[in-house]
A and B are shown apart, each in its own frame.
Chain A
Amino acid sequence: MKKLLSEFLKGIVKENPTFVLVLGLCPTLAVSVSLINGIGMGIAATFVLLGSNIIVSLIKNIVPDRIRIPCFIVVIATFVTITELVMKAYSPALNRALGIYVPLIVVNCIVLGRAEAYAQRQTVLNSLFDGLGMGVGFTLALILISGIRESLGAGKILGYTLFKRFEPVFVLGMPSGALLLIGLLLGFFNVLKNRRT
């Protein structure tokens, strides 16, 4: 039980996919304009991670080594298709906002990275908790980035105006501002990490 808990927790802080492994920056940069997009993207990626980690771990003994990547991609694509269809049915607005970045979860390097580096040599239960932890870590990072970008870049949070007399920092709503912010956050977390060790 303790092992499972640490498998879960490592994805949130010690091996956070965004700030420590620096994976999946493309969707992070693209969809973190507003908090709701960030949360939606995080949940979608978490679901795909969970599903693909479990299946990859289940089929690890029957997949020939030389064609394992195509097999993993098919598994991941299945879960991404499910996610996209569900999103289209129940939350079309979010689907429109995320656009091409929902199908692009297929090539999100966090998902394939966990399948390749973790799930294909671990038990199903371990992989499940690893996928969940990584997904939650990714979601939390997205919430942090998109929360800062929406509140300072547009003066709103979840669509509600925060401050009355506030001149939004326009650049944070643009890709250049997102790159700058992610760089600063990465540096900040590195400083924290170095301080602790």
Chain B
Amino acid sequence: MRNRLIVSASPHLHKAESVSKIMWMVIISLIPAGAAGVFIFGASALWVIILGVVSALATEGVLQILTKRKITILDGSAIITGILLAYNLPPRVPFWIPIIGSFFSIAIGKQIFGGLGQNIFNPALAGRVFLMASWPKYMTTFTPPASYDAITSATPLALIKEGRVLQNFSYLDLFLGKRAGCIGEVCILALLLGALFLLLRGYISWHIPITYVFTVAAFTFVFGSKALFRGDWLFHILSGGLILGAFFMATDYVTSPLTRKGQVIFGIGCGIVTSIIRLWGGYPEGVSYAILMMNAATPIIDRYTKIRVYGTK
């Protein structure tokens, strides 16, 4: 009995959580979406994911050895970055795309700022945007689901952008992932399963994803077609990378605001930027740019939504 007395300063709360446990839980929650992506697009998608994860781990390890930092490749954060980057790539990219992307994500997106917890931008999205700006040809060549030949096909959002009318698609197809797109973004059902797990276990809060999705829905409903209040909001929720971005990337602890109020502002901001890019911008999809822009705004959001300490002005 006498050895159980621990003398320490408050707060005395204790929870059986650690950074690496949370990271591994996020990895588990990402498995259904990846499995669905591999099922829909075939084995090449699996290779992209494996290459992304392995090179993210290798970059993290090598850089931590070179800079003589503590080696933390097993805490799961590099694996998440690799997975998320791969989920944001088309299924049939050349093999070096996920390798360079993961290298950029970890080296420039994370380690250069000082490692986990120090980065300003979501590393996986930084990698994706670098790839998008460097090799747009490969990043926008999509293949239709369940085709094992090199047929290319545009994503639903790209078709809408070109002013074409979508033919024989249904909301159910979009929900299950029967469309061209990035590996991890297509199957909304699988993404929502993983997101539900994270929400129920309390690893993410609903504030950012729900406000994000609702803002996009409201904005595209109002401005989404030539007449006001006629937009196809359900289509905009179910297509593109919105669900993947809102639940798994906008909620990154490091690069999103700390307070609930700040998170709501963050979510609404992401939603507005995404909708503006989708409806009037040059690109068909704006989720990654929206989240990166709001990442940049996070410090100032945190500053103005700081919780007042009781008893102070």
Task: Tell yes or no: A171 within 8 A of B by CB.
Answer: yes
Check if B108 sits within 8 Å of A167, measured CB to CB. no
At the interface with chain A, which of B18-26, B130-138, B162-170?
B130-138
Bits for A158-178, please: 1 = Cβ < 8 Å to B, else 0. Answer: 000000000101111010110
- 8 Å CB interface, B144-166 against A: none
Task: Tell yes or no: A180 within 8 A of B by CB.
Answer: yes
Check if A174 sits within 8 Å of B135, measured CB to CB. no
Task: Tell yes or no: B74 within 8 A of A by CB.
Answer: no
* Minimum Cβ distance to chain A for residue B233 (Å): 32
Check if A180 sits within 8 Å of B136, measured CB to CB. no
| Cα–Cα, bound, A167→B94 (Å) | 11
* Minimum Cβ distance to chain A for residue B283 (Å): 15
Check if B108 sits within 8 Å of A170, measured CB to CB. no
How many of chain B's residues have a CB under 8 angstroms from any CB in A? Answer: 7
| Cα–Cα, bound, A170→B130 (Å) | 9
Task: Tell yes or no: B112 within 8 A of A by CB.
Answer: yes
Looking at chain A's contact residues, the main secondary structure is: helix
Q: List, in ascending order, chain B residues with CB within 8 A of A167's CB.
A: 135
Check if B130 sits within 8 Å of A171, measured CB to CB. yes
Bits for A167-193, please: 1 = Cβ < 8 Å to B, else 0. Answer: 101111010110010001001000000
Q: List, in ascending order, chain B residues with CB within 8 A of A171's CB.
A: 130, 133-134
Apart from A170-B134, A171-B133, A174-B133, list 13 A-B contacts with CB within 8 A.
Answer: A167-B135, A169-B134, A169-B135, A170-B133, A170-B135, A170-B136, A171-B130, A172-B134, A176-B133, A177-B133, A184-B108, A184-B112, A187-B112
> Could you name 18 residue pairs across A and B whose Cβ atoms are closer than 8 Å?
A167-B135, A169-B134, A169-B135, A170-B133, A170-B134, A170-B135, A170-B136, A171-B130, A171-B133, A171-B134, A172-B134, A174-B133, A176-B133, A177-B133, A180-B108, A184-B108, A184-B112, A187-B112
Interface residues in chain A, defined as those with a beta carbon under 8 Å from any beta carbon in chain B: 167, 169-172, 174, 176-177, 180, 184, 187
